[in-house]
Amino acid sequence: MSENFKQPVLIIGAGPGGSALLEILSQEVDISVLGIIDTNLDAPGIKLARFLGIMVYADIEDALKLSGHCIVFNMTHDEHLADVAAGYVGVGSVLGGQEAHFFWKIITRLQAVKNQLLENQVRMQAVLHNIGESIISITQTGIIEDVNPATAVLFGYTKNELIDQPVTMLMSEPYKSEHDSYLANYKRTGEKKVIGQYREVVGKHKDGSEFQIELNVNEMELSGSKHFVGLVRDITARKVAENKLTQLAMYDQLTGLPNRTNFFGTLSRSLAQAQRTNSCVALLFIDLDGFKAVNDALGHNMGDQVLMEAAQRLKNCIRESDISARIGGDEFTVILNNLNHNDDASIVADKIIQAINKTIVHNHNTCHVGASIGIAIYPEHATDINVLINTADKAMYCAKEKGKNTYVLGTKSVL
């Protein structure tokens, strides 16, 4: 039988039953309705047939002669009409009475299911088309099968540019290589390292720009073949908001230096690292000498300028691997990591004092401040974080008692 063959059908009776059957069969691609027969030319099935461009007949024998061999549905209660049709197409090709009614009910139910499936498909397509998140269908080898419009908007490609391309084209390194290794490992071992997990990775736009995305990949099986569906969300705005909150919570808003909370966490990590690597860490407590007098005489604006300038000078005196922080008022700290020699802390302290001593100019006002510095070294002076902080703090007050603008090492004699 040819793939293009359509089963020819003739309907006897254009009443409600025949009309409903005509409506159903006319929508089937594998069926060709040759015509409908009824002596009542005002019957609903006759009107529908005319609307659909299907032949209408008042005489059954005329219809059968013109139609040739076909399946005949007798939707009337007249068995004589079924006998007439059987004389032309054979008894086996005529469905009538209970047979036709049963067939009609099956077709009606199938049509209802089909319509429901189509409706669900249309609804799902509408959701996928309008959803804000990017949805990407991927083969088990990591090739893009399909994308929704949000994907094209997010990454700057057209749909056709993405289909049949590796999904890693949308990622930056090292996430690109990691994704390939995760996928290969999953296919080899079944271990779901990233399947079903939300991951934050860096996406790559068509123009080469990078942006942060949240990626969730899940597995599905269709016709015995594994596929993956990726849900991608642009989290740039969220990360900006998170960074702002982190900045507020962990950094001094005037100087931009780490604040007291940040300082304690950083010092704890530095000491843990020093313990693992058997290295030394120096902690400097710094108090600005003469700051209160400047603040009182020249106002808070000048005082703020002194603090900002002092913070910048501190940063300029240390390495990138070192940390400076403002822990309150005119008090600052410096963490010197991986000291080669303990004397290096004294060298840095002296460098800081010289930098802080330089004239500060702001809005035609000039002023000078000094720096009293206490130094405690891990593990020489203390191995406990609280003891180390207390040692540096007391050494700083000893520096003030010695005339200010100097530094003191936190030896046992100062405690």
Measured N-to-C along each axis, helices 60-67 and 79-89 cross at an angle, to the nearest 10 degrees, of 20
Please tell me the distance from the alpha carbon of residue 307 to that of residue 331, in angstroms, as a whole number.
9
Alpha helices in 190-299 (DSSP H): 236-250, 260-277, 291-298
Please tell me the distance from the alpha carbon of residue 247 to that of residue 77, in angstroms, as a whole number.
85
Q: Respond yes or no: is residue 384 known to be catalytic.
A: no
Q: 213: which strand partners?
A: 201, 234
- Residue 59 CB neighbour total at 10 angstroms: 10
Residues contacting 82, CB < 8 A, separation 6+:
12, 72, 74, 94, 96, 97
Q: Which of 330, 343, 350, 384 is catalytic?
A: 330
Please tell me the distance from the alpha carbon of residue 150 to that of residue 160, in angstroms, as a whole number.
14
Assess contact for 196 and 162: CB atoms under 8 A.
Answer: no
Please tell me the distance from the alpha carbon of residue 127 to that of residue 213, in angstroms, as a whole number.
21
The SS3 of residue 69 is coil
Please tell me the distance from the alpha carbon of residue 146 to that of residue 195, in angstroms, as a whole number.
19
- The Cα diameter of the chain in Å comes to 128
Active site (catalytic) residues: 330
